[in-house]
């Protein structure tokens, strides 16, 4: 029986997030205060008192979710004993800090740089994402390929669980793909309220910017294997981890494959560290046949 700790991505944020940690835990409070200094603005004020709309700005959302997730793991103390870790998109940075591959300060600086670079790409070109429910991955992949060749860029972005694949691309590409996928039998083809085409070639500018920041940052060997989004496999070698982290911005998040690989490596307990319960729902669908499977939030430990 092995324990996997997993960390959520953008979209898990909520008003008031982290306030309880700040008020009850001195170590958490110190990290929050340090984050305000590093970021150059009071992210704690937006997290604790801001509206959902204010929290939705990419430059705020990503550091906020990262902070909440890393501090959740810290507050577990001795209960944080992972055999493996993984994170969904942005959550991969939280996982790397929690596993000791990256310092808190460096992790936050990279997340902030990533958020700003992605925001810039979003503003430079109208683009979006959509969730496709109820179709086989192969069907979605084939439609994406066809639309990319005829209308505009659209690619599979997040393999969330069997029967749920998020696609990403130009506004025209996404609209055309949604129509074709509905005609192919998708239960839903739901445009997402996001500012851009994350995990697609349209993030190339952000990838170039983040590459320089990641290459200039010191990474250590993690204390346990880190499962990464680009290939869904375990990694422990710092240079390999960096390479995968750079590739992640324009590559698909292979979350289904990542959870399957963790299960194959013996994981039967999954604990989500961070805001929301999105990953718990995905894992329940991916690993539903695992005997004695335990899935929970960190507060249930």
Q: Could you tell me how far CA 228 lies from the centroid of its own chain? A: 10
As a whole number of angstroms, the distance between CA 20 and CA 32 comes to 12
Contact 152, 201 (CB under 8 A): no
Q: Which CATH code fits 125-191?
A: 3.30.70.250
pLDDT value of residue 194: 83
For residues 18-32, give the mean pLDDT. Answer: 97
As a whole number of angstroms, the distance between CA 300 and CA 255 comes to 23
Q: Other C-beta atoms within 10 Å of 125: how many?
A: 13
Give the three-class secondary structure for 89.
Answer: coil
pLDDT value of residue 46: 98
* CA atoms in the 13 A half-sphere facing the CB of 184: 21
Per DSSP, the residues of 20-87 read HHHHH-HHHHHHHHHHHHHHTS-HHHHHHH--HHHHTSHHHHHHHHHHHHHHHHHHTGGG---SEEEE
Contact 279, 158 (CB under 8 A): no
How much of the chain exceeds pLDDT 70, in percent? 100
Contact 127, 45 (CB under 8 A): no
The answer to whether 2-122+201-300 and 125-191 have equal CATH topology is no
Model confidence pLDDT, tens digit, residues 199-237: 999 999 999 999 999 999 999 999 999 999 999 999 999
pLDDT value of residue 193: 80
pLDDT value of residue 195: 81
Q: Other C-beta atoms within 10 Å of 98: how many?
A: 30
The class level of CATH for 2-122+201-300 reads alpha beta
Domain spans of the chain?
Answer: 2-122+201-300, 125-191
Q: Which two tokens stand for residue 271?
A: 């604990």
- Positions marked active-site: 89, 199
Contact 100, 196 (CB under 8 A): no
Beta-ladder partners of 110: none
Model confidence pLDDT, tens digit, residues 141-197: 999 999 999 999 999 999 999 999 999 999 999 999 999 999 999 999 999 988 899
Model confidence pLDDT, tens digit, residues 100-122: 999 999 999 999 999 999 999 99
């Amino acid at each position: 029986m092995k324990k996997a700790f997993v960390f959520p991505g953008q979209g898990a944020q909520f008003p008031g997030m982290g306030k309880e940690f700040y008020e009850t835990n001195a170590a958490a409070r110190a990290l929050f205060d340090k984050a305000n200094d590093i970021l150059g603005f009071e992210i704690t004020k937006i997290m604790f008192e801001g509206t959902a709309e204010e929290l939705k700005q990419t430059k705020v959302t990503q550091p906020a979710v990262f902070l909440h997730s890393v501090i959740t793991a810290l507050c577990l103390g001795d209960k944080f004993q992972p055999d493996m870790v993984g994170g969904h998109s942005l959550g991969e940075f939280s996982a790397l800090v929690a596993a000791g591959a990256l310092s808190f300060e460096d992790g936050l600086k990279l997340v902030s740089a990533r958020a700003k670079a992605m925001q810039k790409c979003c503003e430079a070109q109208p683009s979006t994402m959509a969730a496709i429910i109820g179709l086989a991955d192969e069907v979605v992949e084939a439609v994406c390929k066809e639309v990319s060749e005829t209308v505009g860029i659209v690619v599979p972005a997040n393999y969330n669980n069997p029967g749920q694949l998020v696609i990403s691309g130009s506004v025209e590409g996404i609209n055309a793909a949604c129509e074709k996928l509905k005609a192919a039998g998708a239960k839903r083809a739901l445009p997402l309220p996001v500012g851009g085409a994350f995990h697609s070639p349209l993030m190339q500018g952000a990838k170039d910017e983040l590459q320089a920041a990641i290459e200039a940052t010191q990474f250590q060997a993690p204390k346990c294997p880190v499962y990464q989004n680009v290939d869904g496999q375990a990694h422990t070698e710092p240079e390999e981890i960096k390479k995968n982290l750079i590739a992640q911005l324009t590559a698909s998040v292979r979350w289904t494959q990542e959870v399957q690989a963790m299960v194959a490596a013996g994981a039967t307990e999954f604990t989500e560290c961070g805001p929301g319960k999105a990953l718990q729902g995905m894992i329940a669908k991916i690993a539903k046949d695992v005997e004695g499977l335990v899935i929970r939030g960190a507060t249930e430990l």
